[in-house]
Every structure is written in structure tokens, then in C-alpha cells.
């Protein structure tokens, strides 16, 4: 697994650096380029606005969709690999099945 990845975008401004220790224990990462949910949470806080609809055409492990769910954003995702899709779907289902105090209006 790489310790860093570079991503290009067309958003004007300076480069940003996200720092985080490698995620998970050995065996917990099942996708070769699995990103932490915290990375997508950070990106959404920087660039997404309320009401944005997020499309991820390469879902992988569903970290992006979990971050979108937690942020209350509408999202869609696609994954071509059947095995990754099934694992990502199960991971997202576990996340969305949890009820938070915000869902209850507490």
C-alpha cells in the first residue's frame, strides 16, 4: 500500500495535504486502494455544500459513500467489480443501519 497518493482536480487554489496514520489493522483493508472515511469527510468539509449531490463512479470500498451519508449528502456510487461491490454494499449497509441521535431528533 502506498503512503501517499496524488489527486488532480480543477478547483482553483493551493494544494492541500491530508495527514493520517495508515488505517486499520492487517486484514481489515480488503481493497487495494482503500481510503479512510476521514479523508472523504475532510474533502467534503472543504468542497461540498449543503444540497450537493455526490457521484462516485469508482466506489471501491465505499469510504466516500459512508462520508456522504454521515454528512447528510445525497449520493450515488458505481463499482464494476462484483466482489468489491458486494463488500462495499455490506459495509455501507452496516453504516446506514446505525441510528444516530440526529436521526432521532434528540
Domain containing 78: what range?
59-106
The whole-number pLDDT of residue 22 equals 62
Report the mean per-residue pLDDT for the chain.
Answer: 84
The whole-number pLDDT of residue 71 equals 96
What is the torsion angle, in degrees rounded to the nearest 10, for the CA atoms of residue 56, residue 58, residue 62 and residue 68? -10
- Count of structural domains, the chain: 1
Residue 95 lies in a domain: yes
Residue 106 reports pLDDT greater than 80: no
C-alpha cell belonging to residue 31 = 481493497
Residue 35 reports pLDDT greater than 90: no
The whole-number pLDDT of residue 33 equals 79
The whole-number pLDDT of residue 76 equals 96
Confidence of residue 94 (pLDDT cuts 50, 70, 90): very high
Residue 6 lies in a domain: no
66 touches 87 (CB < 8 A):
no
Amino acid at each position: 500500500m502506498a503512503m501517499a497518493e496524488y489527486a488532480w482536480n480543477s478547483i482553483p487554489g493551493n494544494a492541500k495535504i491530508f495527514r493520517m496514520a495508515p488505517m486499520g489493522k492487517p486484514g481489515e483493508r480488503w481493497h487495494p486502494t482503500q481510503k479512510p472515511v476521514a479523508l472523504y469527510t475532510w474533502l467534503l468539509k472543504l468542497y461540498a455544500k449543503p444540497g450537493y449531490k455526490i457521484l462516485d463512479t469508482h466506489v471501491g470500498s465505499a469510504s466516500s459513500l459512508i462520508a456522504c451519508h454521515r454528512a447528510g449528502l445525497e449520493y450515488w456510487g458505481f463499482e464494476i467489480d462484483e466482489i468489491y461491490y458486494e463488500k462495499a454494499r455490506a459495509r455501507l449497509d452496516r453504516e446506514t443501519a446505525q441510528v444516530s441521535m440526529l436521526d432521532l431528533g434528540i
